[in-house]
A = this chain, B = another copy of it.
Amino acid sequence: MQSQSAARRTSARERLLAAADELFYENGINLVGIDRVIERAGVAKASLYDCFGSKEQLIRAYLKGRADKRQARIVERIAGLPTPREKILGVFDLLAEVVNRTDYRGCAFQRASAEAGESSVIKGTCEEPRAWLRSQFTELAQAAKAADPELLGRQLVFLYDGAALAASVDGDRNAPQAARALAAQMLPSD
């Protein structure tokens, strides 16, 4: 089998992704150069360009990795909750946990989007997880028999984004709870 060569490739790839994740998230994608990434990954520069082709594609992979992790976290969390209402509130509970991690620096997609400049690759990659969350909220709002599920879904995203922003920029670590409280008011009490 090709396991070993594949293992080596993924090993370099994964080390690069891990380094990119830490550095890009902590410092911002534009303030981190390729050299810092490969140094932390312990990988040659040529390997980076073999694996990803460009910095932009590395950023894209970093964002996709974050999106997948967030999505899995949310899916897993709401699977364990019985009602649509509780599922929605569970997303805010999850956010409350995340923002209290010491290395929390805000929503990676919000931040990358702000730094994207002209790159539609990066902007597009940021939009995907946002659209997914919105559709989740909308479906849950529908299941919760909201009068206007589309509208409610968008409003829930406002609260989610706003809370993430307040937690990181203003240092309001209880923002998700405040957003959750408002979400609870909006939802049909069932």
Residues of A at the B interface (CB closer than 8 Å) are 27-28, 30-31, 106, 110-111, 113-115, 117-118, 123, 126-127, 130-131, 134, 151, 154-155, 157-163, 165-166, 169-170, 172, 175, 178-179, 181-182, 185-186
Contact = CB atoms under 8 A, between A and B. Distances in A.
Secondary structure type dominating chain A contacts: helix
B154 A175 contact: yes
A138 to B, nearest CB: 12
Given A115-B28, A185-B186, A158 B169 contact: no
B117 A31 contact: yes
Contacts of A185: 186
Contacts of A106: 114
